[in-house]
Amino acid sequence: MSGNGMERLGFIGLGVMGTPMARHLISQGRDVTLWNRTKSKAYDLVALGAKWVESPGQLTEAVDAILICVSKSEDVQAVVNKLLPFLRPGQLVIDHSTILPKVAEGIAKQVAEKQGFFVDAPVTGGSMGANKGTLTIFMGGETEAVERAKAITAPFAKRAEHVGPSGAGQMTKMANQIAVGGALLGLCESLAFAQKAGLDVRKTCELLSQGAAGSWAFENYGPKILARDWEPGFSVTNQQKDFLYCQEAAKDLSFPLPMTELAHKLLAILEQEGRGGDTTAALYDVYLEMESEE
């Protein structure tokens, strides 16, 4: 523990999500040590008061709890493999990445063998939620570890819930991404229909968002569509990765995901056009290009 009684925190992964999350911790006076593959991404945070180390091992030795926010299952596993030789009994590893539930379960066992604790804690709310500090976090793990994780992540979360044992956080995130896919399809299909029908798309979006059609997608991505602002947000590439994880998890359950498969297929068109870095709301353009098969 640090001198002020708070846990000393390590943060690994300073991307679109991780950077604002780490910034909230620092702004709340938390003791934060950073490591990232690209050192330059840490400069602004170090200027705000964070510390920098040259390796995941050095970070592990300097902190009580480690937060990870990277991209894919294999990325998280690679980071954890670098932490494990240095992990001490009682240390907590919190993973905010979106990964396969079975990978989270495996990592939890690896950390437990070192007498540490692991919480799979994927987030939802996008970069907007990360910047505002209003993320929702799904936490899987032992109750004691989850309670520690809740206290640590409070500066960037509006809600954090214990949803079950290791892997349950990621399984809940899969359910979230399935719902996100449906909302994205509904938003883009609806507004593209309005455009084709010659309606005032801006007024249509405003009216629909206030009624039964309203959703997080309408509220947050509707304005981006109207402005033709395709900056993430949440990128097509990242969404496609998550949809693949959803489909793999569903396959293990022998459960079909027809809507998610459709969203995955349509977003693939943007990837083929070299637009994987655009926000998922750019799916609107795909709808506008569609022609009836009649």
Just list the catalytic residues: 173
Q: Provide the token pair at 284.
A: 């609107």
Rounded Cα distance, 100 and 97, in Å: 10
The neighbour count for residue 164, using CB atoms within 10 Å, is 16
Q: Phi/psi of residue 111, each to 5°? A: -65, -40
The neighbour count for residue 253, using CB atoms within 10 Å, is 10
Q: Provide the token pair at 268.
A: 């693939």
Q: Identify the DSSP state of 7.
A: P
* Cα dihedral: 123, 129, 130, 132 (round 10): -150
- Kindly list the distances between the CA atom of residue 228 and the CA atoms of 54, 205, 263, in Å, as whole numbers in the listed order: 40, 14, 20
